Chains A and B, each alone.
Chain A
């Protein structure tokens, strides 16, 4: 019943899901860095930086991820010659382009998650901290960020799960991850339902534990107000 799985070796079923995991991890790290920078701009006292952050978030959030990913391949790579340091290895190039596109898109959502976390801290907390004579770095390090960080786990977990699911869009530029393998399998094999179930199970395995664990963590750490 499952013997068709062994007919696929490039990539194998596990290999395809490993690619999904790699896409998630690399884009996750890059978008965390980018999103933090954006969030810092959006909450900064400099109006121009705030404006830039807002503009980036509003523009990127309203473009479909598919448009961004396909553009990295057809636009950045083919027209502008951005080969991402792998001009001959098209698999690696596609992977890096997909990570670039996914990170640029996800950074906007990370930024919003971080900002909503900072916004949960009541202004009175910082005012009280200043009133007892703490300086800026103490206010930030001892009062605001510890509270903001706990409030941010839940929204960030959502972004991570959405990112895991969004990596399937990389199939649009031929990155050999789970959705592309599923497309190939489901078109060539007879067991439509079984193939669907196998891949659905794979994604449930990837997203469910993450969601449960981070959901539990965010509930446990939530600041009771």
Chain B
């Protein structure tokens, strides 16, 4: 293969690559062997520690209820954040400067603050100012924190989605005499929704990952928290971490694959404009890029 860094390998380069491969395999094998020895020394490979995961009790009592809570919080957060994000995103493109500025301030503010701070604050707010029961409070706090952060990220996705549409769409709408609101609701938004669908789905990965924060800091009974109860019962800390990590990896991999499939489908589709915001476009948005300079180094079309 040719890349910008090197040409297709000739005979000498091929020989060199084989040597590199061998050295790398040896290093990797050494590393794996070391991990194996350490695990073995500490007795972490005992079958009795892994056995609970082959039986249904560990799953039905701990892992599946935990996973369901994770999914519930993530789903709720996404459903609530989506309309909020749409409003904020559209407000950021308003023709009125004060609407634009205030929406922009809200978006940049919540993207600049760690989501944990939002959760901690929401938790205390619910404890003091509302009569949400103590059992429900962690869930409320986690969802609130996630909604505040993700609404502002989604606002940026919505904005990027609308800006990614060909300019002719707006111009044609204006030419046939549609008002601003009509242009947005009947021409731009319906198309933008398909454009940004993959990016929205990808955002779910971030939300799922952030729910774990609530499990440790607020006692929300999601997957990572359920792991603690499980490990306390079976005394298998390392094993439970590995299993939970695998669950997260599989879950997030499924979400990402679905998003990529959607993106590929949208790009091929003849009925759409062929623009799509994919998983790669979203990385920039999540990191709270405060300067408002997006897509550095890659085009968003």
**A residues neighboring B (CB under 8 Å):** 43-49, 52, 58-59, 61-67, 70-71, 74-75, 78-81, 109, 112, 116-123, 125-126, 130, 136, 140, 144, 151-155, 157-159, 161-162, 165-166, 168-169, 171-172, 179, 182-183, 186-187, 192, 196, 199-200, 203-204, 207-208, 210-212, 214-216, 218-219, 222
Query: Is the CB–CB distance between A204 and B297 below 8 Å?
Result: no
Query: Is the CB–CB distance between B125 and A192 below 8 Å?
Result: yes
In whole angstroms, what is the CA distance A153 to B289 when docked? 12
Query: Is B272 in the interface zone, CB < 8 Å from A?
Result: no
B42 to chain A: which residues have CB within 8 Å?
79-81
Query: Is the CB–CB distance between B289 and A144 below 8 Å?
Result: no
Chain A interface, DSSP helix/strand/loop, else mixed? helix
In whole angstroms, what is the CA distance A214 to B291 when docked? 8
Query: Is B171 in the interface zone, CB < 8 Å from A?
Result: no
> What 8 A-B pairs are tightest by C-beta distance, nearest first?
A215-B291, A154-B296, A158-B287, A211-B290, A151-B297, A62-B252, A64-B212, A64-B209
Which of B109-117, B132-140, B172-180, B262-270 faces chain A?
B109-117
Against A, the Cβ 8 Å flags (1 = close, 0 = not) of B32-47 are 0000001000101000
Query: Is the CB–CB distance between B114 and A179 below 8 Å?
Result: yes
Query: Is the CB–CB distance between B290 and A58 below 8 Å?
Result: no
Q: How far is the CB of B144 from chain A (nearest CB, A)?
A: 12
| Residue ID in chain A nearest B108 by CB atoms | A208
Q: How far is the CB of B284 from chain A (nearest CB, A)?
A: 6
Query: Is B293 in the interface zone, CB < 8 Å from A?
Result: yes
* Known contacts A112-B283, A171-B217, A183-B217, A74 near B290 by CB under 8 Å: no
Among A58, A179, A192, point to the contact of B253 (Cβ < 8 A): A58
Q: How far is the CB of B2 from chain A (nearest CB, A)?
A: 7
Among B13, B112, B117, point to the contact of A196 (Cβ < 8 A): B117
| Residue ID in chain A nearest B280 by CB atoms | A116
Which of B92-100, B190-198, B238-246 faces chain A?
B238-246
Query: Is the CB–CB distance between A158 and B284 below 8 Å?
Result: yes
Query: Is B69 in the interface zone, CB < 8 Å from A?
Result: no
In whole angstroms, what is the CA distance A179 to B120 when docked? 8
* Known contacts A64-B212, A151-B296, A162-B286, A79 near B117 by CB under 8 Å: no
In whole angstroms, what is the CA distance A204 to B120 when docked? 17
In whole angstroms, what is the CA distance A208 to B291 when docked? 8
In whole angstroms, what is the CA distance A9 to B11 when docked? 67
Query: Is the CB–CB distance between A123 and B2 below 8 Å?
Result: yes
In whole angstroms, what is the CA distance A52 to B108 when docked? 36
Q: List 29 A-B contacts (CB under 8 A).
A: A43-B5, A49-B20, A49-B21, A59-B249, A62-B209, A64-B224, A66-B213, A67-B212, A67-B248, A70-B224, A75-B238, A80-B38, A80-B42, A117-B297, A126-B4, A151-B296, A158-B283, A159-B287, A161-B290, A162-B286, A168-B116, A171-B217, A179-B116, A179-B217, A208-B112, A211-B289, A211-B290, A215-B291, A216-B291
In whole angstroms, what is the CA distance A117 to B283 when docked? 13
Query: Is the CB–CB distance between A171 and B116 below 8 Å?
Result: yes
A43 to chain B: which residues have CB within 8 Å?
3, 5
Among B4, B245, B291, point to the contact of A67 (Cβ < 8 A): B245
A70 to chain B: which residues have CB within 8 Å?
216, 224, 241
Query: Is the CB–CB distance between A219 and B293 below 8 Å?
Result: yes
A215 to chain B: which residues have CB within 8 Å?
289-293
In whole angstroms, what is the CA distance A80 to B38 when docked? 7
